[in-house]
Every structure is written in structure tokens, then in C-alpha cells.
Amino acid sequence: MKAEDLKLVVKEKYGSIASQSNLLQQQGCCGDSGCCGELEFSMIGDEYAGVAGYNPEADLGLGCGLPTEFAGIKPGDSVLDLGSGAGNDCFIARTIVGETGKVTGLDFTEEMIRKAQQNLADTGFKNIGFIQGDIEEMPLPDSTFDVVISNCVLNLVPDKQKAFSEIFRVLKPGGHFCISDVVTSGKLPDGLKKAAEMYAGCVSGALEKADYLNLIKELDFSEIEINKEKPIEIPDSILANYMNENEISNFKKSGTGIFSITVTANK
């Protein structure tokens, strides 16, 4: 699948998710209509309950970590959230930066931006803004942000080198990022990797962990650290859509793994 086709899949899938209401409260990320097919990957996210600034209305259950936990955000910081969705991590970051800071959410889909702006209107915050844009070509000036965060989004970006180059560009000198993402260990079966639904479900767009970390290093980021890592188990009911019983058995025995990681690095 070409990069532009992958982007269209992501835009349509997440636009559909954003168009529904109270998804997490209904049935995980999918709600009653089954917009995600059989994928309900809210199971891979971290628990937000009790986190200051958490907004249940803005949590669509699409994350794979809690990047603000390790982001080192300070009062007064300017923070960028990539793939901000309905705004949940932005609202948490706003609680940390306070009235003197600024939070910007960037998302690829118009529907997500609208939903985030609706949620923002309910908060009364004046120092959060949401803009539509492509992570590979951010409509943002150089050296603008103290911290960049992202939650289970970069694995959906076809050109991850461009994405991390853009992160480097928009960070201030001395700034840093904290990203929760999905990576693999070992080769995913072709049927699984190429399936569009799995791509939009955050798994098949993932890089090998070593390649992911090397890419960050090659772009001159420093002090790269994995702050948290945990395995992701794909249910047999989902694997069966892409593999037969023998292939599933071999896949499980192969040692191939899928993980969520939260990574920090400095510019």
C-alpha cells in the first residue's frame, strides 16, 4: 500500500471513530457500531483514572501509554501533542503547564479536531489550541516547543524519519520529546502487516524496536531512554482474520513480540 493510501486509511478510520460519542464508555474504542471492525485496542493503553487533568470525554481509548507521566513538563512550558485526537493528553499537559504555558494539539483528521475543540469549549482553557496537519510536514515554525508528546500515533505515520525530523525541527534547542508508541521484536507475518485494519489498529505500522531507536539516534537526538515497556497480546479472534491455525501457532512460538514503549530523548 502506498503512503498516500495508508494515510487515507488512517484518516477514514479515525474520522469514523471521532464521529461517535462516548466511545470508551460504550465498548472500548469501537462503540456500538463496530467502527473498528473487531479491533478494540483500548486494552493496550495505560490507566488514566486519577491523573490530574484527565477528561473522560476526551479519552477515546486509542492510546498505548501515558506520555505525560515521563515528559518532564514544567509550568510555563510550550507543549505539542502529535495526533492529539479528542484532546485528552493536551488537557493533562495543560494542568501541568498552568496558565503561563501553552499546549498545541496537532491531528490529521478534521473530525478529531472538531471533537477536541468541542471538549476544549467545555473547559474554558484559553491556552490550548488544536490545528489540523500532517506530522510529516507540520504547519508549525522552527524551535517553538519545549516538549513534544505523542500517544500511539507515530506508528501510523508512513515515513517515520520525516516525522522525527519534524519533531527535531519544531523543538527548541534543549527541548525534548516523550512518545508512547508500538514497536515489534521479530518479523510480523505478511498478512498481519499488510492488513489495513491492523495498520489503523496501531500494530502493523510498527517498526522493529532496534530500528526505531536507531532512527532517533541518527537524527542527532541525545539521551534516548525507554522509560516504560510492556508486551501487547493480540487476541486469537483477531489473528484468525489474517492467519490460519497453523500460522497462528507458529507465530506464537516464533518469539515475535509486539510492545508498547514510552521513549524520551533530547534535542
Q: What is the CATH number of the domain that holds 17?
A: 3.40.50.150
What's the CA angle centered on 226, arms 178 and 102, to 5 degrees?
A: 10
DSSP track, 168-184:
HHHEEEEEEEEEEEEEE
Domain assignment of residue 223, given as a range: 3-266
Domains in the chain: how many in total?
Answer: 1
pTM: 0.84
Tens digits of residue pLDDT in 34-85: 334 444 444 455 678 789 998 888 888 778 889 999 999 999 999 999 999 9
pLDDT at 203: 66
Most confident segment among 27-31, 47-51, 138-142: 138-142
Closest CA to 62 of 17, 19, 115, 20: 17
